[in-house]
Structure 1
Amino acid sequence: MLRSYSKALKKYAVFQGRTTRAEYWWFMLTLVFLLLLGLFIDEALGYPIDGPVQPVTGLIWLVHLFPTLAIQARRLHDIGRTGWWQLLAVVPLGLIVLIIFYATASESGPNIYGQVPAETSSAGRPSHSAAQIAPEVVDQLEKIAALKASGVLDQEEFQRLKSTLLGQKS
């Protein structure tokens, strides 16, 4: 939990690349916990929750503004969408669509935003799903991902080619 949170804070200005569903949700859970803690501290300091000012909560929100925007952009990249989809938050019912996007499973292979982010085990080491792939295979995967993104390949053909490249049975 804290590993995902600290990793997201270290990448506070990185809007490129991808992030896993787990990393995103652990960061958001930690942020919600910190905001609730901030509200509790504000209340203890004499700033009512329904009052116009909550300085501790406001500071927590301000410190996490850019890291939140960055991790949301990377999460959207992980499902093959541009980070600009975050603008849906200002549209009625847009947050519901964004929550669905954030909960959507990652694209299984490389996409135009980068490689599949490596999952890490509880010990902090890459899990077995993040096996090393030869650079020439990665290049080929990127090419077929681009063909899929441009509509030249359908999902079935993309999966077949990807499985062939990775040496898996289709």
Structure 2
Amino acid sequence: MNFMQAIQSCLSQYATFSGRASRSEFWWFFLFQILALIVSGMLGDVAYSILALLLLLPALAVGTRRLHDVGRSGWWQLLTVTGIGYLVLLYWFVQPGEAQANGYGEGSVA
């Protein structure tokens, strides 16, 4: 998946927390967020805040789908509240996806 496909995929599935997201989709969208927030930060605090809020739900959704791809529940994103949890999530986000279906997002309640 290339940069534009990843952005289109994430924004078209902005509130889809089921399914899986590849590493490339997750990281290309992450790069897009960083670049967009840097540019909006140059425009002012209001523009930055609005864009950050607009990108929050798609970021959570793609993060959940990425965790599904490595066999974890999207609820693990709550680790960010602890601060150190970012390192655990980073480790999971860089892992290759599982080859078999893991059940997350396929109607399961995990």
From 99, 104, 109, give the equivalent of 2:90: 99
Pairwise CA distance, 1:67: 0.5
Aligned to 1:15: 17
Return the offset for 1:92: 2.8
Q: Percent identity?
A: 38
**1:112 paired to 2:103:** yes
Q: Runs of 4+ in structure 1 displaced over 4 angstroms?
A: none
Matched, 1:56 2:56: no
Kindly report the root-mean-square deviation, in angstroms, between the aligned alpha carbons of the 2 structures.
1.3
In structure 2, C-alpha distance between the alignment counterparts of 1:14 and 1:29, rounded to whole Å: 20
Q: Which has the higher helix share?
A: 2
C-alpha displacement at 1:112, in angstroms?
1.2
Structure whose CA Rg is larger: 1
Cα distance in 2, alignment partners of residues 97 and 4 from structure 1 = 23
With normalisation by structure 2, the TM-score equals 0.90
Q: How many residues align?
A: 104
Partner of 1:38: 40
Gaps of 5+ in 1: 43-53, 116-170
Write the distance in 2 (CA, Å) between the matches of 1:112 and 1:57.
37
SS at 2:18 equivalent: coil
Deviation per CA, 1:68-97, whole angstroms, max 9, x where unpaired?
A: 110000000000000000000001311111
What is the aligned partner in structure 2 of residue 65 from structure 1?
A: 56
The one of the two structures with greater contact order (alpha-carbon pairs below 8 A, sep at least 6) is 2
